[in-house]
Amino acid sequence: MLEEAQRGRYAVGAFNYCNAETAQAIVETGCRLRSPVLLLTGPWEVPLLGAKALVEIAESVAAGADVPVCLHLDHADNLELVAECIEAGFPSVMMDASAHDFEENVRLTKAVVDMARPKGVTVEGELGAVGRVDDWAVEGAHGASLTDPVQAAEFVARTGIDALAAAIGNAHGIYPQRPVLDFERLEAIREATGVPLVLHGGSGTEPDQLHRAIDIGISKVNVASELGRAFLSAIEQAMAKSNGKVWYAHALVEAKAAVAAVAVRWMRELGCAGKA
């Protein structure tokens, strides 16, 4: 998916899901817009449902899809979680060892590549630290450090990763003010590494910033916070309209529609609509 996006100068949306309803909303939207779909889940969902159940939900939803759908583990920060998810059937994983120093990041990420490659599982790594703008985000470092292009080239060469999450001024969560992305740095990273690049913290990024980043070389954009807020807001509104007496399945119908609306906007914005 990401190699095709890189060649086509668009980005694939990676959308977070935590239950069957959100997964359905995302995949159904992808089918409607003819977009490839990345279903994203991470360390905060695995304890909730279990790795096997997350795979089964994704496989069940994808079985009825006529567009490419891939499940991806986001921001795993330990080898045990990665091993559990690979064993459960995840076809793509991320090892985020960016909180460690460079050599330890290389060691841990390379260990994941060595674990994943024989099983045909692709691996994303992160160099630099993508920060967190608010407590609503459930991932990201308290402080951000930008990715060094020279180190990025060495990191990719020594680990053998398939995709690289770069820190170029982006952050997880809903931005309180417009981010300033370092496009010169992004271009240098792209030229130094050659692998598909990932933008974490897509929620709230201005369209002109996104379009320029994609044009330079971003092939995957993660969207989580906007989906979560839309989901919860829809349930809150359903509760308010019924004075707290709404049947929970009816509230989930509203929440599913709200998630789909966010996915529609992002698929169109990223240029992946019509690419499947």
> Domain extents for the chain?
2-227
74 classed as catalytic: yes
| Secondary structure (3-state) at 124 | strand
Write down the catalytic residue from 74, 77, 148, 162: 74
2, 60 contact by CB (below 8 A): no
Looking up tokens 């930008």 gives: 146
pLDDT tens for the chain, 276 residues long, are: 999 999 999 999 999 999 999 999 999 999 999 999 999 999 989 999 999 999 999 999 999 899 999 999 999 999 999 999 999 999 999 999 988 999 999 999 999 999 999 999 999 999 986 544 344 344 444 445 789 999 999 999 999 999 999 988 866 444 444 567 889 999 999 999 999 999 987 666 788 888 999 999 999 999 998 999 999 999 999 999 999 899 999 999 999 999 999 999 999 999 999 999
Question: For domain 2-227, which CATH number applies: 3.90.1490.10, 3.40.50.300, 3.30.470.10, 3.20.20.70?
Answer: 3.20.20.70
6, 217 contact by CB (below 8 A): yes
Residue 197 buriedness (CB in 10 A; 0-12 / 13-18 / 19+)? buried
What whole-number distance in Å separates Cα of residue 257 and Cα of residue 1?
Answer: 26
DSSP character at residue 148 = P
75, 93 contact by CB (below 8 A): no
Helices (H), the chain: 2-8, 20-33, 46-49, 51-63, 79-88, 102-116, 149-159, 183-193, 207-216, 225-241, 248-270
Distance of CA 184 to the CA centre of its chain: 23
The tokens describing 128, both together, are: 């630099």
| Secondary structure (3-state) at 27 | helix
Q: Give the residue from 172, 114, 123, 119 showing the smallest Cα distance to 143.
A: 172
What whole-number distance in Å separates Cα of residue 234 and Cα of residue 225?
Answer: 14
